[in-house]
Amino acid sequence: MDKVKQKGVVIRALGAMSGTSLDGVDAAVLETDGVRIKGFGPSEYMSYTAEQRGVLHAALGHWHGATLAPATDVVMEAHRALLGAFAQVDLIGFHGQTVAHAPRAQGTLQLGDGAALSDSFGVPVVWDFRSADIEMGGEGAPLAPFFHFACAKWIGAEGPIAFLNLGGVGNITWVDPSFDRPEDHGALLAFDTGPANAPINDLVQARRGVPYDAGGEIAAKGTVETGALELFLAEPFFARLPPKSLDRNDFAEMVALVRELGDADATATLTAMCAAGVAEAMQHCPRPPSRVLVTGGGRHNPVLMKMLEVSLECPVAPVEAVGLDGDMLEAQAFAYLAVRVARGLPTSCPGTTGVRAAVAGGTLSVPAPAHSPT
């Protein structure tokens, strides 16, 4: 435990992320001292079954009630199975599954018990990353920006760049790597751009019985309904200044806007809405980034990537172009954040979540004595 808390010491941290796309769990090892990236370790992915996705989907938007217990069981079962495949890690960062997020009202809810995982694996676990930020007036999201700052340093970026994560919800991090620390004023600006894969996934699941638009094949056959796109962009969210965040279902009416369209046109229109939200977000960047590096499942959709290339005024590329793993960046981020929490370092700041001051969010749970390694 002393090693985990000792600043400046590089440790092997294992991060786990289950995003709002509800596709599965990512897990990845990162070697870090909580400031610099020293190396990338192994990673694994476990997809949810159709039945598990249904249980999780039923829990979305609920703060209490009977749907949460079975959803929690799904989350814990999946994480125990996946994380058990990793050996010789010093610390685990466990995000859990977000089912409800309303920072200005009820708060935020991630299902899963980090203390129970700590007992299961005999390793300290950091979890509940978002609550402290919200308690201090922040949005509680996005949280990956501090890791994006470390990534910008790791790739040797010399000027402002942007990381765009396209999961269930889209979020962007503008990074100025000339600063020494992510919490320095002006180093970061981060916020949610709008819905991304979630409404597309929900639509094709309902209409075609498939979990997502693989390769953008459905959208590629459709035509964008510009009237629906204009109504989408008239939403007040886009006029709000960042930082700002969204719940997965905040734009549920998007699906209503395309209800009368055929499958291909509806999917193409929802895909265009995602790209248009990103284009609107770019107007908030302090200075134009030299490039936008895309992470998350959306980068696998060539139709979406082409829309971004057309609508943005700077080069767009998947993060693999700079040697990063876009499938595992979020899991790596929570490994990185876990080390920072264990060492009392900030994980969010006014520029990333709107929190009043830099805060180290997260709860550190240690295994009960009977479960501690000998």
Query: What pLDDT is attached to residue 21?
Result: 83
C-alpha dihedral over 46, 50, 54, 60, to 10 degrees? 40
Counting as low any pLDDT under 50, the low residues of the chain are: 374
Q: Which helix (H) or strand (E) holds 303?
A: helix 302-311
> For 326-345, what is each residue's pLDDT tens digit?
999 999 999 999 999 999 99
Q: Which residues of 259-272 are buried (b: 16+ CB within 10 A; e: fewer)?
A: eebebbbbbbbbbb
| 21 vs 213: CA distance, rounded Å | 12
Tokens 């709860």 found at: 363
Using alpha carbons, select from 258, 271, 343 the residue that is nearest to residue 10.
343
> What are the chain's domains?
2-140+334-371 (3.30.420.40), 156-322 (3.30.420.40)
| Phi-psi map region of 327: left, alpha, beta (phi>0 left; psi -120 to 50 alpha) | alpha
CB 126 within 8 A of CB 337: yes
Q: At residue 15, what are phi and psi to the nearest 5 degrees?
A: -105, 145
Q: Which amino acid is at 354?
A: G
What is the average pLDDT score of the chain? 95
For residue 314, count other CB atoms closer than 10 A to its CB: 15
pLDDT, residue 248, reads 80
pLDDT value at position 374?
41
Tokens of 360: 């180290």
Q: What phi, psi does 316 have (nearest 5°)?
A: -125, 130
Cβ proximity of 81 and 46 under 8 Å: yes
The pLDDT, as a whole number, for residue 222 is 98
Which residue intervals of 169-282 are DSSP H helices?
197-208, 217-220, 226-233, 253-257, 263-282
Cβ neighbour number for residue 374 with a 10 Å cutoff: 3
Residue type, 110: Q
Whole-prediction pTM value?
0.94
Nearest to 339 by CA among 33, 113, 114: 33
**Cα–Cα dist 40/108, whole Å:** 30
Instruction: Using alpha carbons, list the distances in angstroms from residue 111 to 63, 67, 68, 253.
Output: 10, 11, 8, 25
Quick one: pLDDT at residue 168?
Answer: 87
